[in-house]
Amino acid sequence: MPRHLMSFALALLLLYAVAAEAAEYGPGVTDTEIKIGQTMPYSGPASAYAVVGHVEQAYFDMVNAKGGVNGRKVKLISLDDGYSPPKTVEQTRKLVEQDEVLAVIGSLGTATNSAVQKYLNAKKVPQLLISTGATKWNDPKQFPYTTPMVPSYQMEGRIFARYLLKNRPDAKLALFYQNDDAGKDYIKGVKDGLGEKASKIIIAEANYLTTDPTIDSQIVTLKSSGADTLFTMASPKFAAQAIRKVAELGWKPLNYVTNVSSSIKGVLEPAGLENSVGLMTALVQKDPVDTRWDNDEDMKEFRAFLKEWYPKGDLRDRNNVGGYLTATITVNILQACGNDLTRECVLKRATNLVGAKIPLLLPGIELGFTPDNYAPFTKMQIARFDGTNWVSDGQPISADDD
């Protein structure tokens, strides 16, 4: 072999050796694969959210078909927990101790994630972009390995309260909520936002358990209170029941449904679109069926992705967007890690996302994680349902706007 070629070959070998030596791998990582895990309610009372996991899997399939992340395929192990905390514990332990995933990403549910938060933080396993907005997830000092992806429930509650104080200061408000940490978080936000006027404005409260067969009796009780405004915090199945029952009773309150149950496909259609006209909510994402975004490049990419990689996904189901965003951010985090695919680096990248370009967020809405603040969003957009789409009402507001 000519000397110059031999020198070049030797240089390449040295380069590869240095690169290999520089590579840092955590559990679940090889030269060709990055293994991550999650739990999802593919069965049980919250199974309407299962589409989130399906979309994330489809997104990683697309990424892998295009060469993966820095040459490595992303393997998502997504296990059914039935929205049951004991099952979540069992499945999460399997992911960590048997499958040895690098991180747990996008797992859904407040009670379910609560059941494994201490375990994952003790093991120093990143529990990232979880699909729940409980305020307690923003606790970088006590639980540095846990970050949320959903807007803070308390923040959304305060935003609705601010809307009432400005636009309906004489409202007679009834609160309907899921009797768990998520529901109580929302209600605390509403009451904190109303401040000293809460005791005057709130005239009735009722809650439900996810094991309840129906919530009809609770809605009847709230109507009889004389309330002209209703705050509905429920998972998709029960939110649809509540909207439908309100209509059956001929009750016409200003009905606010929380962001987590604002899907046209998953909630409003089962409730009846005619029963949903006039509903209010608060959003951070663009609506895939809103014609305003037909020429938006991010929306074009999303629609093309759904058509090719998850064709049974319905554009009217905004849970598709949630899964897409989580998967997009996950890939950004892994790409930023380069060859330092350790749990420590993943956490560092996941908590330094201020200014990151994230697709499909509404104008004026930004994602921003910092090491000292794990709240993913600080603003939301109030919107009303017109029978076809969610229509923005004013500009995005924060819980602390004047």
Where are the chain's structural domains?
Answer: 23-151+294-371, 153-283+381-398
What pLDDT digit, counting tens, does each position of 109-120 carry? Answer: 999 999 999 999
Question: What number of other Cβ atoms are within 10 A of residue 64's Cβ?
Answer: 16
Contact by Cβ (8 Å): 301, 327: no
pLDDT, average across residues 363-387: 93
Residue 192: pLDDT above 70?
yes
Tokens of 142: 């006590």
Q: What is the DSSP string of 204-227?
A: EEEEE-TT-S--HHHHHHHHHTT-
**What's the farthest any 2 CA atoms get from each other in the chain?**
93
- Model pLDDT for residues 150-160, shown as the tens digit of each residue: 999 999 999 99
Which tens digit of pLDDT belongs to each residue from 51-106? Answer: 999 999 999 999 999 999 999 999 999 999 999 999 999 999 999 999 999 999 99
C-alpha 198/C-alpha 179 separation (Å) is 20
Averaged pLDDT for residues 161-178:
96
* CA terminus-to-terminus distance, the chain: 76
Domain 153-283+381-398 indexed as CATH 3.40.50.2300: yes
Q: Closest Cα partner for 262 from 314, 318, 326? A: 318
Q: For residue 401, what pLDDT is reported?
A: 57
CATH superfamily ID and name for 23-151+294-371: Response regulator (3.40.50.2300)
Topology agreement, domain 23-151+294-371 and domain 153-283+381-398? yes
pLDDT 10s digits, 197-230: 999 999 999 999 999 999 999 999 999 999 999 9
- Per residue in 303-327, pLDDT tens? 999 999 999 999 989 899 999 999 9
